[in-house]
Chains A and B, each alone.
Chain A
Amino acid sequence: GDSVTQMEGPVTLSEEAFLTINCTYTATGYPSLFWYVQYPGEGLQLLLKATKADDKGSNKGFEATYRKETTSFHLEKGSVQVSDSAVYFCALSARSTGTASKLTFGTGTRLQVTL
């Protein structure tokens, strides 16, 4: 079945450091890929998405590129801020299921940014 694997957390960085959170997936067909972010006490919010190979999703300084050859969708940011501290979830939507919006989530990676 479909699955998403994320790097274990927590990830602790100093402000202005470079961020990479790894995400790889297994799916049949051509899934859409998403990154969601969850701030404390809140629900998950869509951060960015990519719907086909080589697409780059970007938002709020975060980027991720859909790499079909390596089945990856790594999240990057050039300079993190304390306000980026949250849990980040990688997810896929497998179109072959016929219900495009059903998502398979990774386990989440907690990011803590310190001054």
Chain B
Amino acid sequence: DARVTQTPRHKVTEMGQEVTMRCQPILGHNTVFWYRQTMMQGLELLAYFRNRAPLDDSGMPKDRFSAEMPDATLATLKIQPSEPRDSAVYFCASGSDRGNQPQHFGDGTRLSIL
């Protein structure tokens, strides 16, 4: 089965450090989504792309977060500088806007900022 691949699965770092999370969407999917999941806030949409173009990043703190798609096989989410409140699980999902297709999720990056 095709899968969304996220790396790293786990990341522990000190506050102030740059964090980069990567996502390989399913081949042929033209939409990519970044979510953050915490106990307090639940699942939050941070940003999403269609055909590699950013469509909505209103859920993302712009001063420290950035999301890009350098090519169709790679999406990145960066935090610089990181803060303890950024500790969460970050999920990438990909989908297709052709027909009623569901999103497919990766297994997430569990991020801990000390």
Contact = CB atoms under 8 A, between A and B. Distances in A.
Interface string B54-73: 01000000000000000000
Interface string A85-108: 000010001010011111101011
B42 interface: yes
B20 to A, nearest CB: 19
A100 B98 CA distance: 7
Given A99-B50, A102-B31, A43 B42 contact: no
Interface stretch (B11-19, B74-82, B103-111): B103-111
A51 interface: yes
Contact of A43 (B48, B96, B108): B108
Contact of B33 (A36, A98, A102): A102
B91 A43 contact: yes
A107 B108 CA distance: 18
B105 A43 contact: yes
A45 B42 CA distance: 16
Interface string B81-110: 000000000010101111111111111100
Which of A46, A100, A101, A102: most chain B CB closer than 10 A?
A101
Contacts, number: 57
B43 interface: yes
A32 interface: yes
Interface in A31-48: 32, 34, 36, 41-46
A77 interface: no
B80 to A, nearest CB: 25
B55 A42 contact: no
5 contacts: A44-B103, A45-B105, A99-B50, A105-B42, A107-B43
Given A43-B108, A101-B102, 19 more contacts: A36-B105, A41-B107, A43-B93, A43-B105, A43-B107, A44-B43, A46-B104, A49-B100, A51-B100, A95-B100, A99-B55, A99-B97, A101-B31, A101-B95, A101-B97, A102-B33, A102-B48, A107-B42, A108-B42
